Structure 1
Amino acid sequence: MPIRLIVSFFCLLLLIPHEGHAAAKPRPFAGNGILLIRPPSVTDSAEPPTITLYREPGVGRLAELPPQKLPGLSQVLKTEHEETAVAVLGKRGTWLRIAYDEAGREGWVQLRRHWRYADWETFLKGRVVRLFAGMKKDVYSFRREPASSSPVQQRLSASRSLRVIRLQEEWALAMIDLSAAGWIRWRDGDGRFLIVIGETFDPQKH
């Protein structure tokens, strides 16, 4: 068999994905806030089950989709039954800009009265979070100040729970065991989540 054919054969083998080595799904973008899309109540039953997205608020229809087709935050946050959580990338009054497909295309949707919107400062305050597993060692640093050059107070594990006190840009001031306070990065430089979000802190459970 000619050497060229042998080389081509092995190159093709390298391109075939091996079972158990599929690429991990990337962590989702955080944006500026969160939109919790909830099904209409009995009194709001006249509202359509789909969401209409526009190029600009109310102008230039782009798509009409059921909420479950949107790229949600299921990797980051567990929601109630039939509830969809999506990252909000911009806001103008009652209009919110979100991504509506996995390619990252964006559109504007109008906030409905039974939905919930919150910026991340409001939503994360008081919540229990932990860091994603399998990231670079430096991400697990619990620092004295919100800066990469700040001294590391301790190294965290991905299973360690922290309670968020407040945010400062990509940094979160958090507490461990109601005693030690320090800073972690809650999103990376690209705007992707570094944390998994749990429930609101309950002192009876800690």
Structure 2
Amino acid sequence: MILLLSCTVAFAAPPKPRPYSGFGVVVLGRGDLLVLYAEPGVQRVGELSAERIPALAAEGGEVAVAADARKGEWVRLAYDEAGREGWVELKRSWELCSWEEYLPGRSVRLYGGLKRGLYLLSPTPGEGKGSVSLVPGQTVRVAEVAGEWARSERPSGWFRWRDGDRRLTIVPLPPLR
């Protein structure tokens, strides 16, 4: 019996990694077809429906995805959970915005399992930490963003919305704009 239980734990799937933040967010239509390229306009990789790529948030007919890089009218997106990336040409119906534009006014949930320091609120954006701590999984509303720091309305203070590896420490919640 113990052997059976230990095998089940050993074969449990590891948690999927937190997504990279990139430079901003692309808001796509849920039914949009993405034509992926290895480089902008060169070496077509394949096609994928927008609803099948790893989304930061989804609401109604829209899907928000982190954009890793930009070259003219092309953006690079992660198109699967393994982090493989491809370039897509921006469509007029898509909205591309920076994190500074996307996060203010939005509710976010904090990832669990992060280093303790990422949950501490600071009175100003920077490394000086305060004594108030957020709770893993807690939902807060972002009032403003300054670099890698976001100001929470309640409790009031600044926290890191992405870590030093540029991975998100938060999950943006619907509704989308």
Query: Which range, TM-score by smaller chain?
Result: 0.7 to 0.9
- TM-superposed deviation, 1:186: 0.4
Alpha-carbon displacement from aligned partner over 1:4-59 (angstroms, at most 9, x marks no partner): xxxxxxxx98994428954222222211111121057xxxxxxxx52111222222
C-alpha RMSD of matched pairs (Å): 2.8
Q: What is the aligned partner in structure 2 of residue 157 from structure 1?
A: 135
User: For the Cα contact (< 8 Å) 1:144–1:153, is it kept in 2?
Assistant: no
Q: Which runs of 5+ in 2 are unaligned?
A: none
Q: What is the aligned partner in structure 2 of residue 6 from structure 1?
A: none
Residue 152 of structure 1 aligns to a residue whose secondary structure is coil
1:191 counterpart letter in structure 2: R
TM-score (norm 2): 0.81
User: For the Cα contact (< 8 Å) 2:16–2:81, is it kept in 1?
Assistant: no
TM-score (norm 1): 0.71
User: For the Cα contact (< 8 Å) 1:161–1:176, is it kept in 2?
Assistant: no
Residue 83 (structure 1) aligned with residue 62 (structure 2)? yes
Q: What is the aligned partner in structure 2 of residue 52 from structure 1?
A: 35
Residues in 2 aligned to 1:191 and 1:116: alpha-carbon distance in whole angstroms: 22
User: For the Cα contact (< 8 Å) 1:139–1:185, is it kept in 2?
Assistant: yes
Q: Which runs of 5+ in 1 are unaligned?
A: 1-11, 41-48, 201-206
Residues in 2 aligned to 1:63 and 1:185: alpha-carbon distance in whole angstroms: 35
Residue 131 (structure 1) aligned with residue 122 (structure 2)? no
Report percent identity of matched pairs: 42
Residues in 1 aligned to 2:132 and 2:59: alpha-carbon distance in whole angstroms: 34
Q: What is the aligned partner in structure 1 of residue 171 from structure 2?
A: 196
Q: What is the aligned partner in structure 1 of residue 28 from structure 2?
A: 37
Residue 18 of structure 1 aligns to a residue whose secondary structure is helix
Judging changes above 3 Å, is the alpha-carbon distance between structure 1 residues 61 and 174 closer, same or farther for their aligned structure 2 residues?
same
Of the structure 1 ranges 139-148 and 151-160, higher mean CA displacement relative to structure 2 is found in 151-160
2:102 counterpart letter in structure 1: F
The total of aligned residue pairs comes to: 173
Judging changes above 3 Å, is the alpha-carbon distance between structure 1 residues 122 and 108 closer, same or farther for their aligned structure 2 residues?
same
